[in-house]
Structure 1
Amino acid sequence: MNFEKKKGRTALALALAAFLALSACGSAGNDDATAPEGTKQSQEQTSEGAGSSAEKPAAPEGPLGKYDPPIEVTTVRFVNASFKYDEGKSIDDNIWTDIFKNEYGIHVKNLWTVDESQYRQKLNISIASGDIPDFMLVNKEELMRLYESDQLEDMSGVLESYGSDYLKELLNQDNGAALRAATFDGKLVGIPQTQVNGGVSTGEMIYLRYDWLKKLNLPEPKTIDDVVKIATAFAKDDPDGNGVADTYGLGMNKDLFQTHGTVKGFLNGFGAYPDMWLKGADGKLVHGSIQPETKTALQKLSELYANGVIDREFAVKDWNKVAEDVAANRLGLAYGTVSDGGHIHRANKDNNPDAEWKIYPIVSLDGSPVHPQLADTANNFYVVKKGAKHPEAIIKLANIYLEHYYLTSYAPDPNPFISRDGGIFPGKYHPTVIDPLNVNLDAFRLVQEALASGDGSHLGFPANVHFDRLTKYAAGDQEMWFSTIVFGAEGSYSVIDYYDKNKLGIYSEFQGAATPTMTEKMSSLKKFQDETFTKIIMGQASIDEFDKFVEEWKKLGGDKITEEVNASL
């Protein structure tokens, strides 16, 4: 993607470095670009044999060739607070690190690890100082910053030479949209992280305590009014029957548009699509967050909050707190994502075996089908530091993941990368996870066919794992309930299947790399947006504050970003 060359690139890069150092506390093609202060020195000190491509030692041939002697590559990682390793294992010592070293001669060294919530902040400080590892995971804005400061290796030829056929196939999903988002001025500067629950599987859905619904004699949700009626009853009519006003109507978390307790699906029901680009009446792209439909949806949420239907303290609770409310029988209605039932609602079922859950597609004002908002094919990218001694190592690590996780047959022995009881998939130990977008949707369909015929002997991974779990559940193993809420005939993937078969879902109309102003200002605009929306929902600002927000959003860089987005098409 090409952007207009600007004068004073050196000053811009240095100013950007200072900006990042300050803004990090709040978050997560230019041949004349100047790296931030300290970049050159840092690269020389931390990258073995930094220099031109011609000076780099030859790597072993083929996608899976072994290094002899072994090599070391550095990275940085985040960990989820709820992540549990096998006994005696860690992010630095696990099944994958053994495979890397013993079978492929690669030692992956983590320079630092932080909690997932702190990753963006620490990463942005590293980027601003130029102190980056051999490879790391970044988002679109960080990708652009690194490219602008000339810190990234061009991976075009590296991917072509060392990428396996399967890796190349996955990176070209959705007609190569992900690769285009990582291409600047003809250079591929990032390897897209495509995800197993990507594409249509990112569409949100409604999770509902069906036993509460039946007890209160309420209709199943077909419209927004139904959702409001159910949420109000769940908050006010004692659905758990304990005689105490201790339940919430509509689950929400402080991040608004992420994970369980999101309101993205609720807004989609109003025709509102926050944080994405839509085609306007004149054919030009506009930002969904500032459209009138968003205002209408926020007004309804503010009414629900004022009526006590939404937890008064949602603005200080993350999704883990929402999950705790679900587990403790305090919450029976929330919008969420396809995998939530397997861990969030499972905890409730473990605590209360009589609890019944059903999952529904998101609903509209008039009952017509809704296009759920879908995430970009890739929002994150693996990047390699310019001058790294072994830029091909990241490609080989991705090949290794795909070879062992998807392409190797472990039958009849258990797959060592899958937890049969539904725990964390050890695949997450891997530092470069790239997955087929619809592998689980395909598995759902194969499993339903196999269950109908009674024969799952022909199924490969991962369908065979889900068939095994569902068969055990049908035979009375209640511990396998977590599988049926996801892969059962009425599980969350049945909703994704419905979306896919009915061609429901909407992607952002802009799938390109971050524009210069987007890189500089979008994170602060996002923070401004979410703070304003939260105040409106909580009644700390009137609904008219939305119009003022739109005006300020445009002045603070939104208009310039919109101009750049349209110019890049």
Structure 2
Amino acid sequence: MGGSVMKRKHIVKRSVAFALAASLAVGLSACGGSTPSASSKPATASKVTNPMAKYDQPIVVNTGRQTATNARLPKGDTYENNEYTRILKEKLNIVIKDAFEANGADYDRQVSLAVASSSLPDMMLVNHNDLKEMVDNDQIMDLSDVYNQYASDKIKEIYNSFKDVYDGGAFKKCTFDGKIMAMPDVGGDAGSNAAWIRQDWADKLGIKLDPDGDGCLTPDELKNVAKQFIAKDPGKTGKPVGIPVQQFPTDGSNDGGSFTLTGIANSFNAFPKHWQKDKDGKIVYGSLTNETKEFLTTMASWFKEGILDPQTGTRTWNDCQGLLVNNQSGIAFGPWHMPDWCFNLVKEKDPNAEFRCYAIADKNGKVNFMHVSPSDKYLVVRKGYQHPEAVMKILNLFYDTLNGKDAAKAMPNISKAMQMDNATKPVNMEILDAKLNLRSYEQISAAVKDPSKVNDIDMAEDRMIVTEINEYNKNKKSAPVEDWSHYTSRMFGLGLYYKLTEKNLFNWQVPGFTGTTDSMESMWTNLDNLESENVIKIITGAAQPNSFDKFVSDWKAQGGSQITSEVESQASGK
């Protein structure tokens, strides 16, 4: 389940959705997206199985479009008409028409209305609850044959890479009665939730970080760095802050979140907001364990000493970023790619800023982290759609051909297209190998040392980034901030993940459960609020650490025990 009941929460209850469904049905019918009657026979995949064969006549695919806040579309382009949709028409003769375009809560609402009215676009992304409902309502196609016949070898290889990551592999949550009912969004492990530290400040103060070179710090070593940054104020602001913490200190997402304390929690072998298996194989909610209590107790002492942000629990994400940009803080927890979208603003304001990342190790020198959870984002195809193989061909083009070594040959202007948001593609999803990040670092670092190896790189994006890194290394002082960001995130962010793997320092945990249960939709918001309130109170001293036991009891009494029972039942296949 991760950090919330689902990555997208239902905004409209089904009772409301039915009341609004009529208007949506009219709109979707105009696009040819209504579900056929029971007498209609769904189309089957052609026996001709060229995964990339171009259609003789244009094929229209109506989609529910999940948009972006800033799509970065060039002037004159739209979601239906841009570099990506034009290459799709050129290569496969497939035309994308948007049945609806929406973002965030509005997208959730449109999906709910479509499901309630049985007026579906030909394809759209849904969460697991919606997927289950659509399967129960017989609204979507069995994609087993389409996948087996039309998925490219590369797509199959990517999906198969998850078999060793978690039980059931990539298709477990979208397989019903042995049938593949959707194509899952998948991405590789992100590595540890690392402590990013202003290396230029550490150098200025004579702080030697990671003297043994294993990429790790202990909690006490991190605490010492924060103490010195506070005491000596290398940013010269007069208002130094130790470790910024946003309003939700723990996070159950695949990368542990940013400006959280996830990396420290993991060093206590605590996994808040994750369902995990205990030493006896029993599934437990990680926020309730003794390890989490020990972690919170330690954080309470850090808060009291001023190591943690005095406004822990009240700052927004933007507030925390502002502390870095204003040189008040030089420590932030987050994923490997944080330089690309957070530290870039710090570098723009202070050209001397340099960040390096370190994993927080447990008392045995190991880095505890949870394997990536199976996706809660699924691409479904309307039952009765006459060309389900077209959807698979779209995935082949965008997540195989245009992600591969020959992407620039297939799409000469791909570098221009990659400046746009991922939402401008026909489907706003990812299909990435479980070990993609490790391979990316291997290939990028090799090509940085020897530029002739750039052609050996699998991913088109990685080849573009190598060019930027090599340009940065030629003249670091005048290089664009974007080049610095990609240099820092790949060479040090991914570099840390690679180093920890090579040194066998990871202690990987497998999610005990990642789905949803019947009671979660009605109970989880209250339980999540209860957890957040108690976590903040304990850390900030508003409640004593021993109040954790009462929180556990209250959580169980207010529906947690019922949900845990449902989790155990689902996990055991009952």
Change (3 A) 1:519 1:152: farther
Q: Distance in 1 between matches of 2:541 and 2:122?
A: 47
Change (3 A) 1:451 1:22: closer
Task: Compute the displacement of 1:47 (Å).
Answer: 2.5
- Name the structure 2 match of 1:498: 499
SS of corresponding position for 1:152: coil
Change (3 A) 1:512 1:116: closer
8 Å Cα contact 2:35/2:139 also seen in 1? no
Task: Compute the displacement of 1:224 (Å).
Answer: 0.9
- Name the structure 2 match of 1:56: 43
Please list every run of 5 or more consecutive structure 2 residues that lacks an aligned counterpart in the other structure. Answer: 1-9, 211-216
1:40-439 map, 5 Å: 42=25, 45=29, 47-48=33-34, 50-51=36-37, 54-56=41-43, 62-81=50-69, 83-116=71-104, 119-120=107-108, 123-124=111-112, 127=115, 132-175=120-163, 177-195=169-187, 198-199=188-189, 201-220=190-209, 222-235=217-230, 237-242=232-237, 244-245=238-239, 247-255=240-248, 256-257=250-251, 259-311=257-309, 313=311, 315=313, 317-364=315-362, 366=363, 368-407=365-404, 409=406, 416-418=413-415, 429-431=425-427, 432-439=429-436
Q: Distance in 2 between matches of 1:531 and 1:117?
A: 24
Matched to 1:287, the amino acid is Y
Change (3 A) 1:536 1:187: farther
Deviations 1:496-518 (A, max 9, x none): 10232216142434367545445
Matched to 1:264, the amino acid is T
- Name the structure 1 match of 2:3: none
8 Å Cα contact 2:468/2:486 also seen in 1? yes
Change (3 A) 1:24 1:241: farther
- Name the structure 1 match of 2:545: 543
Please list every run of 5 or more consecutive structure 1 residues that lacks an aligned counterpart in the other structure. Answer: 1-18, 26-34
Change (3 A) 1:361 1:88: farther
Task: Compute the displacement of 1:313 (Å).
Answer: 5.0
Task: Compute the displacement of 1:337 (Å).
Answer: 0.7
How many residue pairs match? The answer is: 533
Range that drifts further, 313-322 or 268-277: 313-322
Task: Compute the displacement of 1:458 (Å).
Answer: 4.3
Q: Distance in 1 between matches of 2:69 and 2:426?
A: 17
Change (3 A) 1:122 1:320: farther
Q: Distance in 2 between matches of 1:277 and 1:56?
A: 40
SS of corresponding position for 1:375: coil
SS of corresponding position for 2:12: helix
Change (3 A) 1:261 1:122: farther
Task: Compute the displacement of 1:425 (Å).
Answer: 6.4
Task: Compute the displacement of 1:237 (Å).
Answer: 3.7
- Name the structure 1 match of 2:6: none
Task: Compute the displacement of 1:193 (Å).
Answer: 0.7
Change (3 A) 1:371 1:53: farther
Q: Distance in 2 between matches of 1:178 and 1:415?
A: 32
Structure 1 vs Structure 2: percent identity of aligned residues?
A: 24
8 Å Cα contact 2:72/2:420 also seen in 1? yes
8 Å Cα contact 1:24/1:122 also seen in 2? no
1:499-518 map, 5 Å: 499-501=500-502, 502=504, 504-510=506-512, 514-517=516-519
Change (3 A) 1:125 1:234: farther
Q: Distance in 2 between matches of 1:497 and 1:187?
A: 36
Q: What is the alpha-carbon root mean square deviation over aligned residues?
A: 3.7
SS of corresponding position for 1:344: helix
Q: Distance in 2 between matches of 1:21 and 1:204?
A: 34
Change (3 A) 1:528 1:64: farther
SS of corresponding position for 1:239: coil
Please state if 1:21 is matched with 2:12.
yes
Matched to 1:50, the amino acid is P
Deviations 1:340-366 (A, max 9, x none): 1123212211221111211112333x3
Matched to 1:533, the amino acid is V
Q: Distance in 2 between matches of 1:121 and 1:24?
A: 12
Range that drifts further, 232-241 or 154-163: 232-241
Range that drifts further, 152-161 or 225-234: 225-234
Q: Distance in 1 between matches of 2:380 and 2:530?
A: 29
Deviations 1:524-560 (A, max 9, x none): 5445433443344344544344323322333403332
8 Å Cα contact 1:208/1:359 also seen in 2? yes
8 Å Cα contact 1:373/1:507 also seen in 2? yes
8 Å Cα contact 1:204/1:265 also seen in 2? yes
Task: Compute the displacement of 1:333 (Å).
Answer: 0.8
Q: Distance in 1 between matches of 2:92 and 2:384?
A: 22
8 Å Cα contact 2:174/2:184 also seen in 1? yes
SS of corresponding position for 2:236: coil
8 Å Cα contact 1:135/1:382 also seen in 2? yes
TM-score w.r.t. length of structure 1: 0.81
SS of corresponding position for 1:72: strand
- Name the structure 1 match of 2:213: none
Q: Distance in 2 between matches of 1:265 and 1:24?
A: 41
Matched to 1:167, the amino acid is I
- Name the structure 2 match of 1:441: 438
Range that drifts further, 163-172 or 227-236: 227-236
Q: Distance in 2 between matches of 1:375 and 1:339?
A: 16
Task: Compute the displacement of 1:23 (Å).
Answer: 10
